[in-house]
Amino acid sequence: MASQTEFEQRYGFRRNEATLANWRFAPYSKWSFQNAGEFVPSAGIACADCAVESPAVDPGTLLAQPVAIEGRQETVADFLQRSDTDAFVVMKRGEFVGDYFAPHMDHAAAHIVFSISKSLTAILAGSLEAEGLLDPAAPVTRYIPEAEGSAYGDAAVQHLLDMTVSLDFDETYLDPDSAFGRYRRAMLWNPGSGQETLLPFILTIQKGLHPHGGPFRYRSPNSDLLGVILERASGRRYAELMRERLWLPLGAKRPASVTVDGEGTARAAGGVSVSPRDLARVGEMMRLRGVVNGRRIVPESWIRDTLTVGSEAAWKTGDFAHLVENGRYRNKWYQTGFDSGAFFAIGIHGQWLYVDPSTEVVMVKMSSQPEPVDDPLDRQCVAFFQAVSAML
């Protein structure tokens, strides 16, 4: 075990300075994003073959390649460093062709991916739908009768999947006294937790002024509620579903985990931690239309729906229209609207899974960006992925 001096040299602070109150803030996030389970109770997700991951692939000349990001000339390495990248992994036609790890990031460490968790949760939903265990068109109350009287009382499961639920709730990440701060206490992510658990809190949220099915409104409680629905529809715990329906058939090489609240309810919207390469394997499965190593994880029809269906109007009038002009959101995955057919999953603090079917490239970027949301940098990341994909 590293001595305190070695820890300080690697991370720039003492281990005991990272606490529940600051684990998502710089500089502590450089370590805590690889160790979320030391702050928040977590359920393990076992891997199929937990052998040591093969050595990192030297990115060779990739890091020195020039990229132009919004008129700014820099190298790939420059961009990775200025965007607080912890890990950057590139696959081409299913092979790892480059791995970059910051000095503070362990090669095979599981890193929290925040809202990429939503996209992983949606894959589980697609798997259950294929077996007739989940009906996206069904009302939420079929699976959670106690949702009657809440915002979700007249919502369908597909509204959750597409983020078109009308909620009287805002994602105010940095205000501890807001409803979002209460939400984070319910999930045990903030000090002062323990008075309320996740599902009871979600069911206090009331409906917004407009009908469900309107603009894309990014609200994380929708995805946590979806996680509960998956458990009730399948009779299995979230971590068990992830292991049985994704991690084992995927051939994941490293264990994963998901944070849970005081009742064991999984943080399906943002609590999953995975290794960079295993996340890339998820992207490759999506690129291959639901198949990995000859084994089907989700139907091709579900992949096609996820990557081609979705409301343009909901996107253009929604929360993230600034990110990609002609994008769409379907089943918790983002479509770019680019000719390449590229799509992605994204999480706060700079987590990305970007897939470009036209070049057969998958990229994972895990980061510890100081700000949870940085719109200008997010747009630059999209441009960066386009540039790297083109050069490969």
Q: Which residue type occupies 197?
A: T
Return the structure tokens found at 310. Answer: 């979705």
Q: Residue 284: which of 365, 392, 339, 361 has the closest Cα?
A: 361
Phi, psi of 312 (to 5 degrees): -65, -40
User: Which residues are the active-site residues?
Assistant: 115
Question: Which residue is associated with the tokens 């259950």?
Answer: 128
Instruction: Provide the Cα torsion 323, 23, 230, 232; round to 10°.
Output: -150
Q: Which residue type occupies 67?
A: V
Q: Positive or negative, the Cα torsion across 82, 355, 111, 41?
A: positive
16: Cα within 13 Å, side-chain hemisphere: 3
Q: Tell the burial category of 104 from Cβ atoms under 10 Å away from its Cβ (0-12, 13-18, 19+).
A: middle
Please report which helix (H) or strand (E) contains residue 119, including its range.
Answer: helix 116-130
Separation between Cα atoms, residue 356 and residue 231, nearest integer Å: 32
